[in-house]
Every structure is written in C-alpha cells, then in structure tokens.
Amino acid sequence: MDQSFEVDADVIIIGGGFAGAVALRELSSRGVNCILLEARDCLGGRTRTIEWHGRVTEVGGQWLHWLQPHVWSEVTRYGLELYERKPIQRVRYASGGAIRECSVGEFHDLYSGAWQTLYAGATDVFPRPHDPLYAQAKLAEIDKLSIRDKLTADGVEGEVLDAVRGLASVSFNAPPDDGALSQGMRRLAMVGGDPDLLAQTLQQFRLRDGTRRLHSAILSEGKGSIELNAVVSQIRQNPQAVEILLADGRTFTSRAAVVTVPLSTLGDIEFSPPLAKGKSAFVSEGQMTQGSMFWLRLRNMPQEALLALAPPEHPLSYLRVDDEEKDGTVIANGFSPSRKALDPSDRSAIEKAVRLWVPKAQLVEHVYHDWATDPFSKQTWTMLKPGQLSSYFDDLQRPEGSVFFAGADYASGWFGFIDGAIQSAHVASRQVAAYLQEKGLEHSGSLNKVDKQQRVA
Ligand SMILES: Cc1cc2nc3c(=O)[nH]c(=O)nc-3n(C[C@H](O)[C@H](O)[C@H](O)COP(=O)(O)OP(=O)(O)OC[C@H]3O[C@@H](n4cnc5c(N)ncnc54)[C@H](O)[C@@H]3O)c2cc1C
C-alpha cells in the first residue's frame, strides 16, 4: 500500500452497535485515526433502550451475565448496576390443542430429560467453546443434524415434544425444526453443559440503566468522528486504500475497514473484489431467526409471575409476566417465532394471541422494534442452519485484504450475543493494528485528512 496516498482515516468502522463502539475505542486507544459510519440516525445497533411507562425498557438485546466474559468485563470497567428479574411462579404450556398449568418444578420435570438428551455431548463437540471449530471431526457429524432430526431420533413426542419445541423456538426466534442442533450445543457448552445455568445466563440479569449506558460509556473512551445516516453501499479495495461509497454519493477512504453489519445485511453492500466464496454462500443461504419481541402492558392477567410457552405454531409462543403496575396491569415480555404469523404492529392480533393464554386479557399498550423488517438488521440475533457452522464459519471470520469483520454474528464464543459483538471487536482491532504495523502504516495520523481527533460523547 502506498503510504503517501492521503486518506480520510486510518480505519473506517462500518456500524455503530456494540462491535463498532468497541472497535472505535480499542483502535483509537492505539493511536489509530478512525471514522465510524452508521446507517441509522442513532447508535446502539440491535440494542435500544427506551423509557416506556416510566421504565427503562429494552426493545433489543438486553440479558447478560458474569459467564459472558467480555460484556462482564465492561460491566466491571464502568461500574454498572444490574436489574434482576423476578423468578417465574407458574407455567402455562400449550399441548395437543389444550392449555395446561403447573408449577415451575413440574414443568422442569416435564421437559428437562428430553432437553438434556437433545443436547447431550455438547462439551465434547465444543471442548473449547470460544474456538467452536476446535473438535472438527465431532462437529462435522453433529452439524449435519437439525433439531427435528435429533428429536425424531430421540423418540420425543406428545407434550414433552411440544415443551421442547417451545423452548427451542425461543432460542431460534423461529420454528426451530430446521435449525442446526449444533447451535443449542454451542450455547450449552459456553456454560459447561449445565442447562439450568444457561437459562439463568440468558434471561435473568440486565443493566439497571439500560444497554445505552454501557454503549455510551464505551464510546466516551473512543476518539474519532461518527457519521450518522451514513448508509454504506460499496466497499472497494485498491492498492492505495479502501474506498467506501455511501448511498447518498459521499465517499470515504481509509487504509483498512472494519465491517460490523448484521449477516442478513452483508449482501446489501457491494464488495470489490467480491466477498470470499464462503461468505457469499452464507449470505445467499441466510440464517434462521424470523420472529419479533414485544413488551406488553396487560389488564385482567393473573397477578403472579407467569410463563406461557407453546410450540412455534402458536403466534405468541413465549409470554412472561415480569412485573405488576400499581393500577393492577402487568408488564410482560413476549416473543413471536414468526413475524409473518404475528405482525408486531397489529394490536388486535397481539391481543388475540395473548387471549389464547389468558382469555380475558386486555392489551393496554405494547412496544417493540421490528428488527426483521428494519433494513439495517433484517433479523434479530443470528441462528444457523445445519452445516453452516462447519462449512462457512472459518471463511466468515477471515479478513479479506484490508477489510476486517467483527460483530455478534462473526463471534467465536457467545455467537449472536452482545458478548460476542464485544469479543469479535477485540479480535478485529488486534488484527487491524497488526495489519497496519505490518504494512508500515501505524500511527499514520500525519498523513490523514482527519488530523484533529474529536472526543465523542
Ligand atoms: C429482540 C432482540 C433481543 C435480543 N436479546 C439479546 C439478549 O438478551 N442478550 C444478548 O446478549 N443479545 C441479545 N440480542 C442480540 C444482540 O442485541 C446483538 O447480537 C448485538 O447487539 C449485535 O451487535 P453488533 O454490533 O454485532 O451488531 P448490530 O448491533 O446490529 O450493529 C451493526 C450496525 O451496523 C449498522 N449498519 C447496517 N448496515 C449498514 C450499512 N450498510 N452502512 C452503515 N451501517 C450499517 C446497523 O444500523 C447497526 O447499527 C438480541 C437481539 C434482538 C434483536
């Protein structure tokens, strides 16, 4: 690369979610000049904290845990406080066209044997869960299988099958049958193979002041300029620079780029030279998630912390009552496994879906962000189909020339989570710094048009 060629920044980071924010902090702390380009008019990506009904409410990613090492180290670094969810008191589950009710212990007894058998051997397939391809031969066998294949082989049926498919449809945010068995195993291996600990890790603690507080704390330590409403449409590499073209006609140049966009939107950026085979094959196959998440304020509900769970044929396959308001209404969290089956903007369809659980319930109000139709996410979190992890993952993570990839959807450990976004940004920042050093381009600030770094709030 020609060092005398003048560029706008050493590195351009595309996307301002957690991966982009951490990349900005990590690279600028090494003296690298950065510009962050974000397509939306706000930062945070697939996390978004809003004030709703006097509550700090997350309409995107939220749950985190000390067993997620990268996000937990950020919680420690910035001294953030946790909010703990109330434990569930009763469970309603749908099976064979009927709604049944039981205690938490009874429900646990119903599904846990089949759940453990479904994901048995997780720590053998992923003995080093932060290196998911480590046991390649074992993974190759398991990764051929779908959830349906394994449940059929295990002979799971009746209400146990309904309960297990219900649980799996929450993690896949989709009908789980065609999802990769390896996905559930990978998550389980992250907590040493303990399903109850996994459940706690994924849904018990969030940040009292919201993910926005963590995101802005990270950004406050980053230096560089941030451009909002900057939709990247093309990334071209040439021997002098990376040229980044925006949909509005603007162009930026840099010595390297870090791409952090969600996998479902990667195909909307034209790369020249084109993306490696594995990446483009994955982009055209697509990932699994297709549902949505809501917060609901409901009247005429049981005044206890209820969990309702159904197989994915139910439009609202997960409903969990979290809190009670002074006026007797309750705040509940809901997931639909299919946006097509339940349009999040359709108030009466949502009320109808809630009434399948509690016939007299009334929907007072609800809030959500429609990530599946948002052009800058087109999905919630990434979940894979059989074969995708073993066939494409290596390629997906691999840098291409001076273009590097980071984000939850490219993460080695907590794939699809905030933790993974942070972890992958650390890896990409290290790779970019090494690349600049190798090319003799480190601390090239004097050559840059962006000579005055601006601290971002
Ligand atoms: C409803 C929901 C619930 C979730 N629950 C949890 C949870 O409880 N715990 C957890 O850990 N995770 C959860 N997740 C997942 C988690 O939120 C994400 O995995 C994580 O926030 C992704 O961070 P990221 O930086 O990798 O990507 P993103 O946050 O998606 O950031 C990528 C950024 O790139 C931008 N972008 C896209 N295209 C372009 C373009 N062409 N040009 C410029 N910018 C572009 C986007 O606007 C976005 O800001 C949830 C996600 C959703 C949607």
- pLDDT, tens digit (0-9, with 9 covering 90-100), for 15-74: 999 999 999 999 999 999 999 999 999 999 999 999 998 999 999 999 999 999 999 999
Ligand 1 atom at minimal distance to the Cα of residue 380 = 53
Q: Which CATH superfamily is domain 9-45+210-286+377-447 in?
A: FAD/NAD(P)-binding domain (3.50.50.60)
In this predicted structure, the answer to whether residue 457 has a pLDDT above a threshold of 60 is no
Q: What are the sequence ranges of the domains in the chain?
A: 9-45+210-286+377-447, 86-203+291-371
Q: What is the pLDDT of residue 455?
A: 33
- Comparing 369 with 303, the larger pLDDT belongs to 369
Residue 454 pLDDT class (50, 70, 90 cuts) = very low
Residue 452 pLDDT class (50, 70, 90 cuts) = very low
**Ligand 1 pocket, Cβ-based, cut-off 6 angstroms:** 14-20, 37-40, 45-47, 60-64, 230-232, 260-262, 265, 268-269, 293, 371, 376-377, 380-381, 407-408, 416-419, 421
Q: What is the pLDDT of residue 3?
A: 59
Topology classification of domain 86-203+291-371: Polyamine Oxidase; Chain A, domain 2 (3.90.660)
The rounded Å distance from CA 88 to ligand 1 centre is 28
Ligand 1 atom at minimal distance to the Cα of residue 269 = 41
The rounded Å distance from CA 416 to ligand 1 centre is 9
Asked if 322 and 308 count as a contact pair (C-beta separation under 8 A), the reply is no
**Which residue has the CA at smallest separation from atom 13 of ligand 1?**
61
**Which residue has the CA at smallest separation from atom 22 of ligand 1?**
408
The rounded Å distance from CA 66 to ligand 1 centre is 20
The rounded Å distance from CA 425 to ligand 1 centre is 13
**Which residue has the CA at smallest separation from atom 34 of ligand 1?**
15
Residues 217-260: tens digit of each pLDDT: 999 999 999 999 999 999 999 988 999 999 999 999 999 999 99
* pLDDT > 90: percent of the chain: 92
